[in-house]
Structure 1
Amino acid sequence: MNFTTKQFSELTTYELYEILQLRAKVFVVEQDCVYQDVDGKDFKSLHVFGLKNDKIVAYARIFNAENSFKNAYIGRVLVSAEERKQGFGNDLIKASIKAVKMHFNADKITISAQAYLQKFYESHGFVKIGKEYLEDGIPHIRMDRN
């Protein structure tokens, strides 16, 4: 899978629609979590996404440390339900880490991970920081990568 990284202004309307549709499908519908996904932060982030058969199936957004975070930050990490057994999550995290290094020249990265994914993120060099907390009613943990 090839991954693309774009600023908000570089996204086509079709790409933006697919991204927002996929985020709503995973985070709002599938996880049964009502929250404001379109939060105004998309303008300040870079969007990392992977295509399969010309359809976005993997996505994350990344932020520079200057944008309200102490470290660079990876968020909204998802792979469509139909593609989760293909290893695309690993590919997405690797592409996101690479994009953080390339675009922000940063090695320190923070994520707010859903707690059940701790081992997955540990396999990519992230370490749990602090205690578990609820974010939009779902158990999360802060994880950092140096």
Structure 2
Amino acid sequence: MDPSPSLRWQTRRFRELDLDALYAVLRLRAEVFVVEQRCAYLDPDGKDRHPDALHLLGLAADGALAAYLRILPAGVSYPEPSIGRVVTAPGHRGRGLGDPLLREALREIERRWPGTDVRIGAQAHLGDYYGRHGFVADSEPYLEDGIAHIDMMRRAGGESSP
């Protein structure tokens, strides 16, 4: 099997997700964020359904959801557009999918909201990963669901190297 398979990217609004895609998204998020990371929280937080929220799905050749993230417009979580719920399916880890996932999200944000800053609330141990994509920490570490997080900002026009 190719160690870094190319994915087919789909960006959809909530109402454009068919039932199978919605189930795959919610199952993957629960599998990783609730079960694997042992965070008891309500993952479907109402933000998924915002009319301008975007769901970026990375589909493997067999149609399986391999990578996912959610893009929220300015004013929903932060004053800037934001990226969250970034996840790679356990069976697809170690194949270098995170960088293309984030690059695709940044392209989508630039296409929809050109020239805007982007903010994320990142798990602190992933600061270097996001830093490679132009994000800079702009908060002190804080606990969210028992995991250390930091807020990070990517200024408009920030470089995304990997």
* Same fold at TM > 0.5: yes
Structure 2 residue ranges without an equivalent (≥5): 1-6, 156-162
Structure 1 residue 105, shift from structure 2 partner: 2.5
- Residues 1:101 and 2:110 aligned together: yes
Q: Return the match for 2:74 from 65, 76, 95.
A: 65
Does the alignment pair 1:145 with 2:154?
A: yes
Q: Compute the displacement of 1:69 (Å).
A: 2.0
**Structure 2 match to 1:37:** 43
> Residues 55 and 129 from structure 1, CA distance in 2 versus in 1: closer, same or farther, beyond 3 angstroms?
same
Summarize the alignment of residues 12-23 of structure 1 with structure 2, pairs less than 5 Å apart. Answer: 12-23=18-29
Residue 102 of structure 1 aligns to a residue whose secondary structure is helix
Contact 2:47 2:76 in 1 (8 A): no
Question: SS in structure 2 opposite 1:17?
Answer: helix
Quote the sequence identity (%).
42
Match of 2:58 in 1: 50
SS in structure 2 opposite 1:61?
strand
Distance in 2 (alpha carbons) for counterparts of 1:106 and 1:42: 24
User: Number of paired residues?
Assistant: 146
Structure showing the higher strand proportion among its residues: 1
The structural deviation recorded for 1:122 is 0.3
The equivalent position to 2:89 in structure 1, one of 71, 74, 80, is 80
Structure 1: 5+ residue stretches without partners = none
Query: Distance in 2 between the 1:27 and 1:116 partners?
Result: 15
How many angstroms apart in 2 are the aligned matches of 1:68 and 1:119? 22
> Which letter does structure 2 place at the counterpart of 1:17?
Y
2:9: which partner in 1?
A: 3
Q: Which residue of 1 aligns with 2:130?
A: 121
| TM-score normalised by length of structure 2 | 0.87
| CA distance in 2: counterparts of 1:127 and 1:33, whole angstroms | 26
Q: Does 1:91 align with 2:94?
A: no
* Alpha-carbon separation, structure 2, partners of 1:108 and 1:72: 7
RMSD: 1.0
Asked which structure has the greater CA Rg, the reply is 2
